[in-house]
Amino acid sequence: MSRKPLLSPRSLAIPVALLGVMLDAAASASAQQAESTAKKDEQGWRFTMEDRPSLRFGETLRVDLTSLVDFEWRGLDADAGDGTEFGRKRIGIDGRFLGIFAFEVERDVGDDHDPWRDVLVEFRKYRALRVRAGHFKIPFGAERLISIREIEFARRSVVTETLTPERDTGVQLSGRLFGDALSYVAGAFRHDGSGPPDDGESWGGGQTLAGRVVVAPFTRSGVKLLRRIETGFGYTNGDISEGLNGPVLRTASGYEAFAPVYVSGTRQRLGLDANLTHGPFSVRGEFLRTWDQRLRQGLVGDDLPDLVADGWHVSSTWIGIGGLKNNGTTPRRSLFRGGIGAIQFAGRFESLGFHSGAASDDPFRNPRAANVLANDFRAWTAGINWFPVRYVKLQLNIIREHLGDAERRPEPTRASSTSRVFRVQFSL
């Protein structure tokens, strides 16, 4: 007999929303008090909560407390079970010093394997050139670079999770040129963003170079809709350690649908993306490709053709009820303050596949096969997001996934499966 969890996201939704209401009221009161006392105490220490708890010393130092906690309930097809769990449990600080330095420190207290998220300092005196050093996201993948606090779905796409790197230690240059018409970022990183290995002996990737350019080609257009279009290009190049270090495809339910193959040599990634936001509507699309060399990985030590992975996803959102402020997470009219918050509808389609260059050979699932047998993946996600008050977001997603290879499905006779995810997020 299965036991029901003592705490579930559904049972915690109301307490979290009430906590958000209390903090929203405290923040509003603090903001009003700050306006009346700022001129009297500009040079001394003061505590305020305009958006989040903040300690300040004049214009010299600002330290803000940040936190992110989410609770998740996951339901699978009827015979696959479900589960409830605490997701991210992060706490940190970010701030400014002397007006030209920014710093961030964030730790996930629920992750014993790789707890540190952002640990960085950035020199940002010049808009055209900023320098960042520390541990942070490798600048590749438009969806990957969106904060989990702001993403419109309970989870990032499987394409993004499979083909884009995570955080790593490195140095990065960035800036904006020609107003907001062009922005760039380029960095060098110690590893490939895969995180420390479980066995403590090897990394999936070695030194990696990464860069990204975003262009808004119509910033001077007289048509407002065109001015909101942005296009991006990203690229990475780095070493990959010899072994079973190829990409792994895991579905939204966590099932491993494509196991890693043997690789060695160089990994390259290419990304192209575009997005448009106009009023309550948004549309975003991204194409990603990776090439993994497989030098000396054949059965007799011969070189194998590169493993190539191609993926893309397209999503759209519409705020059908209420509206959000410019930060994208705060409703204009909160619950209990003359409104019901904001309700956003979202949809996404994604596709991912693997192949290699040896089309003349028969395809096999063997990790040393010259022609790797693909397991094509497709998924639809329909979602609804409710922002009742500042700091709180509730998300419900229904995900329909399809796998092409019958022998690499949770159930061989079923090509498609459905999962449901409900998440309650509290974020400072």
pLDDT digits (tens, 9 = 90+) for 35-44: 555 445 567 8
- Higher-pLDDT residue of 15 and 107 is 107
- Higher-pLDDT residue of 85 and 409 is 409
**Which amino acid type is present at position 421?**
V
Confidence (pLDDT) at 79: 45
Taking 90 as the threshold, does the pLDDT of residue 145 lie above it?
yes
Confidence (pLDDT) at 180: 83
Backbone angles phi, psi at 351, to 5 degrees: -145, 140
Residues 81-111: tens digit of each pLDDT: 566 677 788 999 999 999 999 999 999 987 8
Residue 221 maps to which CATH number?
A: 2.40.160.10
Where in the sequence is the domain holding 186, given as residue range(s)?
A: 65-88+114-119+126-427
For range 231-238, the mean pLDDT: 97
Mean pLDDT of the chain: 86
- Among 349, 347, 355, 362, which residue's Cα sits nearest to residue 396? 347
CA distance 237 to 269: 7
Q: Does some domain include residue 361?
A: yes
Mapped onto helix, strand or coil, the DSSP state of residue 161 is helix
Strand positions, DSSP E, 143-223 = 167-177, 182-189, 205-215
CA distance 426 to 428: 7
CB of 383 within 8 A of CB of 389?
no
Q: Does some domain include residue 344?
A: yes
CB of 263 within 8 A of CB of 293?
yes
Residues 120-138: tens digit of each pLDDT: 999 999 999 999 999 999 9
Q: Does some domain include residue 25?
A: no
Query: What is the separation of C-alpha 78 from the centre of its chain, rounded to a whole number of angstroms?
Result: 29
CB of 284 within 8 A of CB of 314?
yes
pLDDT band at 316 (very low <50, low <70, confident <90, very high): very high
CA distance 392 to 383: 17
CA distance 332 to 338: 10
- Show Cβ contacts of residue 321 under 8 Å, excluding neighbours closer than 6 positions: 340, 342, 343
Taking 60 as the threshold, does the pLDDT of residue 4 lie above it?
no
Confidence (pLDDT) at 31: 53
Query: What is the separation of C-alpha 323 from the centre of its chain, rounded to a whole number of angstroms?
Result: 23
pLDDT band at 216 (very low <50, low <70, confident <90, very high): very high
Beta bridge partners, 403, equal 377
Question: What pTM does this model have?
Answer: 0.88
pLDDT band at 11 (very low <50, low <70, confident <90, very high): low
State both tokens at 166.
């995570």
Q: Does some domain include residue 190?
A: yes
Q: Does some domain include residue 24?
A: no
For range 315-339, the mean pLDDT: 85
For range 362-388, the mean pLDDT: 92
Burial of 165 (0-12, 13-18, 19+ CB in 10 A): buried
Q: Does some domain include residue 254?
A: yes
- Show Cβ contacts of residue 373 under 8 Å, excluding neighbours closer than 6 positions: 363, 364, 365, 405
pLDDT band at 78 (very low <50, low <70, confident <90, very high): very low
Backbone angles phi, psi at 295, to 5 degrees: -70, 130
Confidence (pLDDT) at 326: 75
Confidence (pLDDT) at 6: 44
DSSP 42-73: TTSEEEE-SSS-EEEETTTEEEEEEEEEEEEE
Instruction: Region of 336 please: left (phi>0), alpha (psi -120 to 50) or beta.
Output: left
Q: Does some domain include residue 172?
A: yes
For range 297-317, the mean pLDDT: 94
Number of domains in the chain: 1
Q: Which position has the token pair 């949809």? A: 347
Backbone angles phi, psi at 162, to 5 degrees: -85, -35
Residues 380-392: tens digit of each pLDDT: 999 999 999 888 9
Beta bridge partners, 85, equal 72
Mapped onto helix, strand or coil, the DSSP state of residue 187 is strand
Mapped onto helix, strand or coil, the DSSP state of residue 98 is coil
- Among 280, 286, 136, 159, which residue's Cα sits nearest to residue 214? 286
Instruction: Region of 199 please: left (phi>0), alpha (psi -120 to 50) or beta.
Output: alpha
**Which amino acid type is present at position 381?**
T
**Which amino acid type is present at position 395?**
Q
pLDDT band at 249 (very low <50, low <70, confident <90, very high): very high
Q: Does some domain include residue 106?
A: no
